[in-house]
């Protein structure tokens, strides 16, 4: 059976065209859903059909003439959503006991689909044929659980459970069908085996989409950061222009006006290009998020027989999606604003004011290139760094000599993260995070080699924050993911614009560990137990 999942919100089950619960929901190229008949109606009535939710094109420009029915049928069906909607319709009916008929049902058997009153529920649980069935109280039975747990039956023998899968015919069947009608079919396998393969495929797709979301999030954050930097440079340029112009009083007013306009105009161009790039990436990310929602929902609420269909169709879809942060060729070039001032001209005659300064727009670099986070050459004696200094492995079994640092001082509004590649002591955190307030080259490792015993460090312990050897009680380290650090978890440190030190766990801000951290501050990770961590690209945050 599929694993438990989060409930589908009511509005998620509603088609944006007919405003009713979905019927045969189709996954559009953008990842949103429409009923099949609503999709056909929408295509027939719109001259330039776009998704009614995000305005992404439903039909790609093509020279081939394809019927709308073929277009609709080419889109994957969200079998998970269909199952939830069907289950919701079942639960919303007034049910009578299938035995007593005139008595209201209070329970439902998920194996045989029978509605049972209180008395019949007790009998159902005692009969040898049904005592092992799963019976749920209707008061607590949700559509998601019903869709997930309801017994799958053979499409030929409705009273028999589906137990095997025939890849030749692409359908799940009962054991009787497997030994008769499908006896000659090759590669007939257990349905659970095929379902597990589909789950693995869906997990891989979810990982691809999550990685794409992360890539786009970083790129979008990079654009926001670039916009702030552009504003900052523009303000600095204007201030410098005004300062120069003040020295020349009235004669320099015309020059001040010219340069200010140039700076603001250049800034507007950069803003427009950045906003254009951000809009494109947000649209691309929206597609990934919508498809990831479909994939996640398929893992949690799709019956085994439908998992293969969803895995195949969604895999075909996902490979067509653009998960990169590269802007298309037709996107506007993103540049930076700089000001060049020739100070020698300031003391020249009024006739030279036209040469006082120029605004230059220069390349801002390639979108998606991030600041690298590599470990410092100096580290604990039991640590082995990879050749590119992005991986750190703790070899020794003692709780000493496992410290690694960032190679460069931390910048404000930047997240310095590591990912736990392998924790050799599952259930126990393998390292402590913090900062060193002195260059690693100047630090002298003590015999114990623990960072929290330094006078120039801030280290987040399990129940305290150690600031220059003085422990202050804190609950930050009690965060489950921080205290256990399972494989794949992300731990990071962050300095805000006021230089307050934050602890980040799996992308979430857990809280402030210390205020007004002095410069310099090097990210620090004190590895206590054997394992491996990987430095992730530095992430700019607002």
Q: What is the pLDDT along the chain (542 residues), one digit of tens a residue?
A: 344 345 555 578 889 999 999 999 999 999 999 999 999 999 888 777 889 888 888 887 654 567 888 889 889 999 888 888 988 888 888 889 999 888 999 999 988 888 999 999 999 999 988 888 889 999 888 888 888 777 788 888 888 888 899 989 888 999 999 999 898 998 899 988 888 888 888 888 888 888 888 888 878 877 887 787 778 778 877 887 788 777 666 666 677 778 788 888 888 888 888 898 899 899 989 999 999 998 888 887 777 778 888 888 989 999 898 888 888 777 777 777 777 767 666 556 545 555 555 655 555 555 555 578 899 999 988 899 988 889 999 887 777 788 999 999 999 989 999 999 888 887 788 789 999 998 888 887 765 555 556 778 899 988 889 888 888 888 888 887 888 888 888 999 999 999 999 999 988 899 999 999 999 999 999 988 889 999 988 888 77
- CA-only gyration radius of the chain, Å: 31
Three-state SS for 150?
A: coil
List of domains in the chain: 1-93 (3.30.40.10), 193-363 (no CATH), 383-540 (2.60.120.920)
Alpha helices in 402-531 (DSSP H): 480-484
Confidence at residue 405, expressed as pLDDT on a 0 to 100 scale: 94
**β-pairing, 457-460 with 431-436?**
antiparallel
Compute the distance between CA of residue 380 and CA of residue 182 in angstroms, rounded to an integer. 63
Tokens 């002095």 -> residue: 518
Question: Are the beta carbons of 519 and 397 closer than 8 angstroms?
Answer: no
Question: Are the beta carbons of 531 and 407 closer than 8 angstroms?
Answer: no
Burial 51-85 (b: 16+ CB within 10 A, else e): bbbeebebeeeeeeeeebeebbeebbbbbbbbbbb
Question: Are the beta carbons of 536 and 419 closer than 8 angstroms?
Answer: yes
**Both structure tokens of 490:** 């992300």
CA atoms within 13 A on the CB side of 496: 14
Confidence at residue 3, expressed as pLDDT on a 0 to 100 scale: 40
Compute the distance between CA of residue 123 and CA of residue 104 in angstroms, rounded to an integer. 16
Compute the distance between CA of residue 395 and CA of residue 195 in angstroms, rounded to an integer. 39
Three-state SS for 269?
A: helix
Compute the distance between CA of residue 223 and CA of residue 266 in angstroms, rounded to an integer. 16
* DSSP secondary structure code for residue 7 in this structure: P
By the 10 Å C-beta count (0-12 exposed, 13-18 middle, 19+ buried), 433 is classed as buried
- For 187-192, the CB contacts below 8 A with 24+ separation are 188/164, 189/164, 189/165, 190/163, 190/164, 190/165, 191/152, 191/162, 191/163, 191/164, 191/165, 191/304, 191/305, 192/304
Q: What DSSP string runs through 301-342?
A: H--HHHHHHHHHHHHHHHTTS--S-PPPTTSPPPEEEEEEE-
Question: Are the beta carbons of 188 and 166 closer than 8 angstroms?
Answer: yes
Question: Are the beta carbons of 30 and 47 closer than 8 angstroms?
Answer: no
In Å, what is the CA distance from 347 to each residue of 8, 341, 351, 464?
71, 13, 11, 60
Q: Which residue in 120, 72, 78 sits closest to 95, CA to CA?
A: 120
* Residue 266: how many other CB atoms lie within 10 Å: 22
**Both structure tokens of 279:** 């809009």
**β-pairing, 431-436 with 539-540?**
unpaired
Compute the distance between CA of residue 44 and CA of residue 47 in angstroms, rounded to an integer. 8
Across 126-196, the runs of DSSP E, i.e. the strands, are 135-137, 164-166, 171-173, 189-190
Tokens 């999606």 -> residue: 321
Confidence at residue 453, expressed as pLDDT on a 0 to 100 scale: 64
Three-state SS for 385?
A: strand
Confidence at residue 298, expressed as pLDDT on a 0 to 100 scale: 85
Compute the distance between CA of residue 54 and CA of residue 501 in angstroms, rounded to an integer. 38
How many residues appear in the chain? 542
**Both structure tokens of 135:** 């019976």
**φ and ψ at residue 430, rounded to 5 degrees:** -95, -10
Question: Are the beta carbons of 137 and 146 closer than 8 angstroms?
Answer: no
In Å, what is the CA distance from 208 to each residue of 203, 318, 505?
9, 9, 21
Question: Are the beta carbons of 304 and 1 closer than 8 angstroms?
Answer: yes
Helical axes 191-247 vs 253-301, angle rounded to 10°: 170
Confidence at residue 104, expressed as pLDDT on a 0 to 100 scale: 93
31: left (phi over 0), alpha (psi -120 to 50) or beta: left
By the 10 Å C-beta count (0-12 exposed, 13-18 middle, 19+ buried), 485 is classed as buried
Compute the distance between CA of residue 109 and CA of residue 128 in angstroms, rounded to an integer. 15
pTM: 0.49
CA atoms within 13 A on the CB side of 65: 0
């Amino acid at each position: 059976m599929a694993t438990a999942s989060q409930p589908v919100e009511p509005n998620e089950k509603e088609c944006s065209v007919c405003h009713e619960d979905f019927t045969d929901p189709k996954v559009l190229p953008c990842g949103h859903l429409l009923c099949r008949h609503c999709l056909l109606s929408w295509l027939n009535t719109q001259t330039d059909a776009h998704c009614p939710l995000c305005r992404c094109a439903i039909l790609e420009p093509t020279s081939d003439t394809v019927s709308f029915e073929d277009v609709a049928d080419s889109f994957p069906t969200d079998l998970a959503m269909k199952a939830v909607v069907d289950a919701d319709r079942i639960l919303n009916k007034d049910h009578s006991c299938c035995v007593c008929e005139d008595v209201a049902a209070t329970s439902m058997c998920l194996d045989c689909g029978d509605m049972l009153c209180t008395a019949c529920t007790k009998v159902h649980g005692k009969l040898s044929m049904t005592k092992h069935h799963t019976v749920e109280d209707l008061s607590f039975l949700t559509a998601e659980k019903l869709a997930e747990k309801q017994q799958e039956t053979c499409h030929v023998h409705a009273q028999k459970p589906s137990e095997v899968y025939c890849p030749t015919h692409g359908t799940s069947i009962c054991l009787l069908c497997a030994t008769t009608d499908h006896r000659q079919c090759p590669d007939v396998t257990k349905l659970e085996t095929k379902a597990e393969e589909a789950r693995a495929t869906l997990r891989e797709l979810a990982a691809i989409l999550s990685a794409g979301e992360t890539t786009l999030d970083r790129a979008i954050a990079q654009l926001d950061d670039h916009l702030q930097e552009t504003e900052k440079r523009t303000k600095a340029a204007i201030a410098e222009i005004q300062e120069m112009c003040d020295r020349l009083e009235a004669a320099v007013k015309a020059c001040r006006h010219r340069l200010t306009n140039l700076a603001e105009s250049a800034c507007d161009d950069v803003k427009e290009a950045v906003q254009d790039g951000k809009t494109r990436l947000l649209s691309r990310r929206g597609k990934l998020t919508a498809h990831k929602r479909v994939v996640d929902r398929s893992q949690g609420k799709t019956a085994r027989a439908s998992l293969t269909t969803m895995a195949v169709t969604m895999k075909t879809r996902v490979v067509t999606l653009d998960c990169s942060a590269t802007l298309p060729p037709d996107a506007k070039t993103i540049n930076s604003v700089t000001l060049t001032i020739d100070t020698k001209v300031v003391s020249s005659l009024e006739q030279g004011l036209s040469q006082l300064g120029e605004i230059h727009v220069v390349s801002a670099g390639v979108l998606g290139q991030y600041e690298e986070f590599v470990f410092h050459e100096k580290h604990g004696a039991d640590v082995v760094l990879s050749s590119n200094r992005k991986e750190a492995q703790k070899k020794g079994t003692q709780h000493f000599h496992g410290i690694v640092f960032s190679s460069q001082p931390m910048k404000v509004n930047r997240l310095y993260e590591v990912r736990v590649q392998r924790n050799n002591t599952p259930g126990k955190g393998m390292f402590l995070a913090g900062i060193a307030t002195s260059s690693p080259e100047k630090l002298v490792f003590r015999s114990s080699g623990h960072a929290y015993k330094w006078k120039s460090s801030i280290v987040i312990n399990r129940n305290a924050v150690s600031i220059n050897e003085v422990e202050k009680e804190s609950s930050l380290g009690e965060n489950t993911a921080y205290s256990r650090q399972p494989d794949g978890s992300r731990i990071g440190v962050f300095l805000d614009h006021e230089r307050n030190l934050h602890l980040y766990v799996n992308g979430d801000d857990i809280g402030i560990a210390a205020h007004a951290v002095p410069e310099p501050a090097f990210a620090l990770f004190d590895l206590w137990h054997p394992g491996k961590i990987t430095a992730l690209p530095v992430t700019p945050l607002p």
